[in-house]
Amino acid sequence: MTSQRQINACVEGVALFEDKIFVVCDQLDVISVYRRDSLQLVSDIKVGGLQLPNDLVSCWQSRQLYVADLCHCVWRVSVDDGRVKKWIPNKLAPEDCSPLSLSVTSGKVLVTSYYGDVLSLHCGDGRREACITLPSCSKARHAVLMSSGTLVVCRTSPRHDVIEVDRLGHVIRVCGAELNWPRRLALSAIGDVIILDSSSSRVLLVDGQLRLKRVLLTSEHDGLKRPWRLSHTSDSGLMVVGEAWKADSRSTGRVAVFRLM
């Protein structure tokens, strides 16, 4: 661990962008901005109208942050001037996407629905490019778009697993690792998949075929405590983990930065 900071709220989203770390917390309408190396607070970005932040991602191509407002909308925030816009739904994408979580690949934003059975892929202007219906009874928590065009999805129903599906929602393969509440995924530079497994307090690395390569972080060796959110950039070799705890009937959490290489 290179740095850590305790926060008096559940961390609902972390995003690493250049030399900053952006954080959203439960039921707060601000994005807090920290220095990447020291986790010193730099500023807050007010997102007026934000109700229930549930995820936060960054896009280096557009220099934007995207915030999932649970079951409501997705907000877009400029990392340069803090300008805020309600991004989807919009005129180009009027459909209700009921956002639960987000990921960004090559400038495209993938939205996992709160209902867990639909993924929506959006272009930079917000237009919906594709809608993927997952297998029956799926409860997806997060998904990422692979360079091949397939999607990797972590689910908690019908079982706790990670699957790869095609654009028609057909299952291609299933990860064989034993998982307990997988909540977030990230991609490495070489196409491996990073899995944040919340209830086991582990972060795992699997290859492009979803075969376990190694365990990256654990509670025993790295001090993870109910990891909740994840951000990773291959160029820096850094991983940011957001945690959510209950302490003395109060919600609290932590942001921790790890160097993986």
The residue extents of the domains of the chain are 3-259
Encoding tokens for residue 25?
């917390």
- Secondary structure class of 185 (helix, strand, coil): strand
User: How many CA atoms are closer than 13 Å to the CA of 22, on its beta-carbon side?
Assistant: 26
Each residue's pLDDT expressed in tens, for the chain with a length of 261 residues: 889 999 999 999 999 999 999 999 999 999 999 999 999 999 999 999 999 999 999 999 999 999 999 999 999 999 999 999 999 998 888 888 899 999 999 999 999 999 999 999 999 999 999 999 999 999 999 999 999 999 999 999 999 999 999 999 999 999 999 999 999 999 998 999 999 999 999 999 999 999 999 999 999 999 999 999 999 987 778 999 999 987 666 788 999 999 986
Quote the pTM value.
0.96
Q: Which residue has the tokens 């991602």?
A: 57
- Tell me the CATH number of domain 3-259, given options 2.120.10.30, 3.40.50.970, 3.20.190.10, 3.40.50.300: 2.120.10.30
